[in-house]
Chain A
């Protein structure tokens, strides 16, 4: 297969997974998601010679940078920064706890939002994109050992935040909930 064909196959296979990745970090706003995903694949197209066999973690890495660039873009910076929580100066903590905080996961999101952007990302990649440590390393552009260390610390911090703010209902209720497995890691 030529690079173009490999790219087209990866595009078809992973388009929706990349869309979910972006949507999870943009509160699912469809218009913005589509725009950012388009940019992700445009960048991936330019770099298609580098596309690894396990394409999805690599595409997440491209998406991560595109999101960061989108945040840094002057046009939409403030708006996106608020959503991404990447900037201490405009951190997502301003989102006040509302009725949604009582929904399953609302308080987990709040616990997550209290962590650093780096902690949040390694946790999201593991829990939501369901990447293994080696794949997280590809997405973050670091070594496996560093990824493992970051995950370990981030988990500890998340645990501490959860313990601090966990509501009364038994946790077992949440642990019984299962999310469909992300597929196609490459």
Chain B
């Protein structure tokens, strides 16, 4: 049987000997650009406008380098890409129905950057192992939720600029898979905290206000299959789920707690967990070091949850995991900047990303 690389090589869409971009002397435009570069040592060609360039995690200088803390957070390579896009894409908030209410041109826009969740003073922190026990008990019930491929998530992602204040882009995404392995994806701009108000979107050339519920993407994909995490079904056993999440993060080494939380987000961006998978995940989270219970919060969808915080001091990020105290299921994950990035106008306490998952 042919080697897979040989097969791929034979499918090179732009072979060196092909009709386009074949080796040879430079053409007129390429020569002109080289002359321009050599003539203007300071810069050369005009670059792209340095406008807002996406969420914090995406920010790189033209050489591809990320800002300090974010760069550290996102290394190494493949994971960096994965997380970066995860942060761009994730998101959601509930209440599509609410978005239909109260809309009108005179309604003030929902552009204010969200504040970090606040732990209710005096609330009693609940250890994660208690929630793990609860999740296991839920998994044993007859009417326990079942695993479903696809996701429903509301996210807020921070976007930065060199010369403008940061902005936050709220989106809701629903991915549903069908029996024939095709799937649909719907992404809308909405901020459930401000139903009916216009919201910021990065669709098009510049960030601009769109109506609440504005459809950013509505697409049906043909059937596809994969046996690789995170597209393959997650295991129900904690040890196997740990290996699954490592593979989803492209690493052979045990996941650190920040990595585990990032892998969890990747998982939940692809799957709506059933009770048994959820019990395995919660068991893993309960065993993670440096994930401490801090008390009760109300998440951005108005759901009551128990919060667990991990401080990734080296990378300047605090992650807050929000769990459902009734089922032990993950409700959300908030990443907050703990070390400022003045070059991008990002302050300590700014919410870098926030994902709230729903069924």
Contact = CB atoms under 8 A, between A and B. Distances in A.
Interface in A1-19: 4, 7-8, 11-12, 15-17, 19
B202 A74 contact: yes
Kindly state the interface size class of chain B when it binds its partner.
35 or more
Contacts of A33: 21
Nearest to A34: B29
Contacts of B207: 74
A182 B47 contact: no
Given A155-B4, A174-B7, A16 B21 contact: yes
Contact of B228 (A4, A115, A162): A115
B53 A73 contact: yes
Nearest to B204: A74
A93 B226 CA distance: 12
A55 to B, nearest CB: 14
Interface residues of A, number: 93
B53 A175 contact: no
Interface stretch (B81-89, B115-123, B308-316): B81-89
Interface string A148-186: 011001010111111010000001101101111111000
Q: Interface centre among A30, A62, A140, A175, by most B CB within 10 Å?
A: A175
B215 interface: no
Given A11-B34, A87-B85, A153-B250, A127 B12 contact: yes
Contacts of B29: 34
A126 interface: yes
Given A24-B12, A42-B44, A128-B8, A64 B64 contact: yes
Interface in B146-188: 173, 185, 187
Interface in A110-128: 112, 114-119, 123-124, 126-128
B143 interface: no
Contact of A174 (B2, B47, B58, B206): B2
A180 B16 contact: yes
Contacts of B53: 69, 72-74
A105 B15 CA distance: 12
B89 A126 contact: no
Interface string B93-128: 000000000000000000000000000000000000
A97 B222 contact: yes
Contact of A114 (B38, B47, B224): B224
A31 B38 CA distance: 23
A39 interface: yes
Contact of A16 (B24, B60, B204, B205): B24
Contacts of A46: 43-44, 62-63
9 contacts: A16-B16, A17-B23, A23-B14, A24-B13, A65-B64, A78-B203, A128-B14, A157-B226, A159-B4
Minimum-distance CB pairs A-B, first 3? A65-B64, A105-B11, A118-B78
Given A62-B64, A108-B10, 7 more contacts: A15-B30, A34-B29, A109-B13, A142-B77, A150-B250, A162-B7, A182-B16
